[in-house]
Amino acid sequence: MLEKIKQTADYIRAKVTEVPDTAIILGTGLGALVDHISDKQFIPYSEIPNFPVSTVEGHSGNLIFGKLGNRPVIAMQGRFHYYEGYDMKQVTFPVRVMKALGVKTLYVSNAAGGMNKEFRVGDIMIITDHINLFPENPLRGKNYEELGPRFPAMTEAYSHELIALADKVAADKGIRVMHGVYVGTPGPTFETPAEYEYFRVIGGDAVGMSTVPEVIVANHAGIKVFGVSVITDLGGKDVTDVPTHEEVQLAAQKAQPYMMEIIKEMLAR
């Protein structure tokens, strides 16, 4: 594993003019943020040694280097989901590579279903914490001390400092943002009404099929995390709407300019 990480990081370092200390993972329907990155350099995942290839509609697979909010960034356009059949080590491999490249801060975004009764479709939820309901933890197995500790704390999995900054930016720009706990599930089924209800009762505000593995590995690696969910559908006991992938993508696309403005301004500050 260490050798693979090094090989991939070396390959990327040799290709790009500048290696940024900030990375962004773009979730379902949120890939257009890439249009706002200037001086872009694309590396398709298929060309990167040891990288898996993204398979799902709505997720193009590119690593993009460029400037956002005048700051150099790496963006992952498309991520690897557990439901695609990748194991946890593959899902989180890009985060290991980011760390090897010198990344210190990771911005993660996703589309999520809202259980919090105050949420509306199109809301932006700043992730304050998460609940891991994946059947496996990406850190299971041999621990490499070079990568991080055996038993990492998850007390501040999402940086309080970055949450405060996001709140300030959103208030200054008049963008409605909610706060909440993200429940990470394996998917690919959306939830039954009883499951949405269950996730709400255990303390969740939104649910999705990603993010948690990457955030666990980022924390293990000592990378600071900022996470944001776009609420693309609502679920619960009394909700009869049937979510579809198309609807999720559409709702994410509509909310994405606001998310983009927040992230861009956070970077600029």
Query: Rule CB under 6 A: which residues touch ligand HPA?
Result: 111-113, 190-191, 207-209, 232-233, 235, 243, 248
Residue number closest to ligand HPA, CB atom = 113
Closest to ligand HPA by CB, 37 vs 121, is 121
Closest to ligand HPA by CB, 103 vs 209, is 209
Q: How far is the CB of 190 from ligand HPA (least distance, A)?
A: 5
Structure tokens at 18: 């500048």
Beta bridge partners of 177: 124
- Which residue from 23, 27, 55 is spatially nearest to 231, judged by alpha carbons? 27
Between the alpha carbon of residue 47 and those of residues 43, 61, 65, 90, 132, the distances in Å are 7, 10, 15, 16, 31
Query: Which residue in the block uniquely carries the two structure tokens 């995390």?
Result: 225
Contacting residues for 267 by C-beta, under 8 A, at least 6 apart: 22, 68, 69, 70, 71, 73
Q: How far is the CB of 170 from ligand HPA (least distance, A)?
A: 21
What is the rounded CA–CA span in Å between residue 107 and residue 23?
A: 6
Q: How far is the CB of 122 from ligand HPA (least distance, A)?
A: 12
Q: How far is the CB of 235 from ligand HPA (least distance, A)?
A: 5
Q: How far is the CB of 165 from ligand HPA (least distance, A)?
A: 26
What is the rounded CA–CA span in Å between residue 239 and residue 73?
A: 39
Beta bridge partners of 228: 109, 126
